[in-house]
Amino acid sequence: MKRREFLTIAGAIATQALVASTLASRDRVRSAKENIAADHMLRIQECEVELAPGVRVHNVGYNGQVTGPLLRLKEGVPVSIDVWNKTSTPELVHWHGLHVDSRNDGAMEEGASMIPAHGKVKYRFTPSPSGTRWYHTHTMAALDLSRAAYTG
């Protein structure tokens, strides 16, 4: 084997090892980011709401309440929110009035993915603009008025 062939082969092996190491490191970072605790957590789940003394209705809410819990977000500060769908139907959470990318917008018409029944999604975005905003379901009820915005 000539010196030039040896150096070519050694360089190729070193490059391959470096690329493999870089890819493995990137995958470890991505996996670690997924396992980091979110800034907030919401559970879409069935609950009861008392509309008047003795008048209770079956509903779907966030963290067992309607309306869902107050989330305080700071404009320009990235946030992550774990949303667990504890219902038997796919769901979405739409962040009303915030400028977010279509994946995190939580609207089917914008291309957001559904949160599968008994599944979880981690929303990540940077809140903007500042102000009082609200979040709500964006699933379509169709003929089932026990779903979506009709339930809370």
What predicted TM-score, i.e. pTM, was given to this entire model? Answer: 0.69
pLDDT at residue 1 greater than cutoff 60: yes
Q: Which residue has the higher pLDDT, 151 or 4?
A: 4
DSSP SS3 for 149:
helix
Average pLDDT, the chain: 82
Instruction: Kindly state the helix (H) or strand (E) to which residue 122 belongs, with its residue range.
Output: strand 120-125
Tokens of 70: 């107050």
Over the stretch 91-118, which tens digit does the pLDDT of each residue have? 989 888 888 888 887 777 777 888 999 9
Predicted confidence at residue 43, as pLDDT, reads 95
Q: Which class does domain 38-150 fall in?
A: mainly beta
How many whole angstroms separate alpha carbon 142 and alpha carbon 96?
21
